[in-house]
Amino acid sequence: MANLGYSRYRQYYQQIGPALKKPHIRAYTMTILSLFTLSFFGAFAIRPAVKEIFELNRKINDQRLVNQKLDEKIGKLQLAEQEYEKIQADLPLILGALPQEPNFPPFLKAVEGVASSSAISLNELRFQDIDILGKTQEKLATPSAIMSSPRSIVFTVNASGFYLDLLSSLKNLLTGSRLVVINESNFSVDEKATTSATLRMDLKGTAYFYQNKIGELE
Amino acid sequence: MRSKDLFILSILTFLTVVAWIISDSYHASVTSTLTTVEKKLIEPIEPSFDQEVIAQLKERHGL
């Protein structure tokens, strides 16, 4: 079998020698072999090396950029620290408007206080489920997600009283030290009331807070 | 296969490999190597506090 194969291809082997002596065939063969060799090494040796060089170059540039941006940020943080020192006196105001904890009991008292000071009767006060300790959301969300958005306490109020008193309570709620947003408010005639001037107010609002403490961030 | 065909094939192969190298190099040079954390870290911050908001807070009364 081996002899048969050898005899079959022997004539081709014998033709290679004389054929390569012809200048144009030798030139073609050398060029083709050179190009295939270049292609082979280009694909498996030169390409990964060149790619690595460009990747490293890009990495160096990126790290330089990070370094420069971080230097700028350090400068800005120092400025921010100075600015922070300046507003130390106003910090209770800010923390009052947007506390770092839900501060639910004081908020509840505040809403009741608004109702009593405006002489309106509070029929119903409902709060959506809130996590007073703030543990559930901490487990679910990433630290950056917690940082980026304030948490909310959604509440609904049903109160009745005279129009001006209701309006005054609404104003007091909006201008209070705690940041409150009124999402919805409806006024209607209170059918249960003895006087026709008594109105019923249905209110849906949101109070906000940031869970993270400044000490924890540091 | 004639020598001329092989020659054309070798040139095409060579050009393809050259194009592959150029494409890979370009891709490597334009693709950012920064991680998500690094991108977050270099986000600029505003080193000032909104005095207007603080003034508005001062106008609020305690509940």
Q: List chain A domain ranges.
A: 1-86, 95-217
| Domain membership of residue B51 as a residue range | 3-59
Encoded tokens for A163: 């129009």
If 0-12 CB within 10 Å is exposed, 13-18 middle and 19+ buried, where does residue A106 land? middle
Contacts of B58 (CB under 8 A, 6+ apart): A90, A93
State pLDDT tens for residues A150-183. Answer: 888 899 999 999 989 999 998 888 888 888 999 9
ipTM surpasses cut 0.85: no
Angle made by CA atoms A33, B23, B15, in degrees to the nearest 5: 25
User: What class is the A95-217 domain?
Assistant: alpha beta
pLDDT score recorded for residue B39 = 93
Contacts of A172 in chain B (CB under 8 A): 61, 63
In chain B, pLDDT over 90 holds for what percent of residues?
63
Number of domains in chain B: 1
Note whether A190 and A79 are within 8 A (CB).
Answer: no
Q: Please tell me the distance in Å from A196's CA to the nearest CA on chain B.
A: 30
| Greater pLDDT, A143 or B18 | B18
Q: For residues A142 and A149, what is the distance between their CA atoms, to the nearest angstrom? A: 11
A101: DSSP letter: S
pLDDT score recorded for residue A216 = 47
Most confident of A52-61, A185-194, A200-209, B47-56: A52-61
Q: Which of A69, A85, A111, A169 should we substitute to test contact with B (largest number of B Cβ atoms within 10 Å)?
A: A69
What is residue A22's three-state secondary structure? coil
Residue B3 has its nearest CB partner, among A28, A70, A96, at: A28
